[in-house]
Structure 1
């Protein structure tokens, strides 16, 4: 049997949710500040505009940057509070019902799908990589993997014992899965716009 600690007291997942939530919230906050400064002074150069390729302005000023009628970072400021609260509650040994986990997963899944769409838009349409956006991507992707596997291993999703065991073992591979996901993103960016070389030159001259 998998360790019951990972099911009823998922401390590792809880800690990650808090860390990811804080990082994601800070990235969203930083992007919101950049957007507000740009609205106040349209000629201002954003602090995250490092080059033609690595910048925030193109993303923030595009229609993709306000796809719901308001700047996307506002979604992050509101949304990243949820993982922080859930993570802190789990560390305090709170237990949630199945419907709560499903609602939480739905929010994470939406964020994951939205991030995948934004990645495709950045690479293939805007041809830029936004630094703060990439920070958001970096925590959203493993969070989706981890929460999905937790729902499977804990029985929140009806599944066989074999599937639950497999999900429990796969939790240890979430970091590697995330790194491979980042590598795929960088590869796609490199193939489309020589991103890796340009990022290296931008950061290290």
Structure 2
């Protein structure tokens, strides 16, 4: 069944998906190159290793950095192509079937959950803040919000009218939701790692 005709083409969301996809892909590519560098030069440091706290190397070389048996950034290299393609297709006038949106929402949800897990592992287990990883966090969180709110407000995901109206209202507040999410992560990182104390 095609997407309900309750909203105009989500141009702003499409533009964001393209921007987020490009940024996320570049972060994944950079992390992949760093991982290759570490594999080729055992004992060396990654170029994004700035301090014991702010670094990529520890994350990349940990088991958390290769959860599925290969470096996590490879997932990003493949996965971030999807938002770019969807965003470009929307701008080109494409309309996707309901099942397509369900799969896209599932992908964004899995990405969000994975990123939340990686944030927890980074802060509570590894005790590091990986710069390129944080770039991934920054684009994944709002991307999940906008896609989820879109499928709710348009009725692609069945929901009561009150939830659809709420999702429609919240769509305009997505930047604030993202900032609040970043602030929560920052507060947790500060409480756990004393980031400010290590920097100043």
User: What TM-score comes out, normalization by structure 1 length?
Assistant: 0.93
Kept after mapping to 2: 8 A contact 1:189/1:196: no
- 1:178 equivalenced with 2:178 (yes/no): yes
Mapped partners of 1:138, 1:96: distance in 2: 27
Q: How far does residue 163 in structure 1 lie from its aligned partner after superposition?
A: 2.1
Mapped partners of 1:46, 1:64: distance in 2: 17
Mapped partners of 1:33, 1:134: distance in 2: 16
Question: Secondary structure of the equivalent of 2:172?
Answer: helix
Q: How far does residue 17 in structure 1 lie from its aligned partner after superposition?
A: 0.3
Kept after mapping to 2: 8 A contact 1:7/1:150: no
2:17 counterpart residue number: 17
1:164 counterpart residue number: 164
Q: How far does residue 32 in structure 1 lie from its aligned partner after superposition?
A: 0.1
Mapped partners of 1:112, 1:195: distance in 2: 24
- 1:189 equivalenced with 2:189 (yes/no): yes
Mapped partners of 1:8, 1:70: distance in 2: 41
Question: Relative to structure 2, which stretch is displaced further, 181-190 or 155-164?
Answer: 155-164
Question: Relative to structure 2, which stretch is displaced further, 89-98 or 154-163?
Answer: 154-163
Give the unaligned 5+ runs of structure 2: none
- Count matched residues: 197
Residues 1:188 and 1:6: Cα distance change in structure 2 (over 3 Å):
farther
Q: How far does residue 12 in structure 1 lie from its aligned partner after superposition?
A: 0.6
Q: How far does residue 160 in structure 1 lie from its aligned partner after superposition?
A: 2.6
Kept after mapping to 2: 8 A contact 1:54/1:130: yes
Q: Once superposed, what is the RMSD of the aligned Cα atoms?
A: 1.4
* 1:133-156 Cα shifts (integer Å, max 9, x gaps): 000000000000110000011110
Q: How far does residue 5 in structure 1 lie from its aligned partner after superposition?
A: 8.8
Q: How far does residue 161 in structure 1 lie from its aligned partner after superposition?
A: 2.6
Q: How far does residue 193 in structure 1 lie from its aligned partner after superposition?
A: 1.0
Q: How far does residue 67 in structure 1 lie from its aligned partner after superposition?
A: 0.5
- 1:66 equivalenced with 2:36 (yes/no): no
Mapped partners of 1:187, 1:160: distance in 2: 34
Question: Secondary structure of the equivalent of 1:156?
Answer: coil
User: What TM-score comes out, normalization by structure 2 length?
Assistant: 0.95
Kept after mapping to 2: 8 A contact 1:111/1:140: yes
Question: Secondary structure of the equivalent of 1:7?
Answer: coil
Give the unaligned 5+ runs of structure 1: none
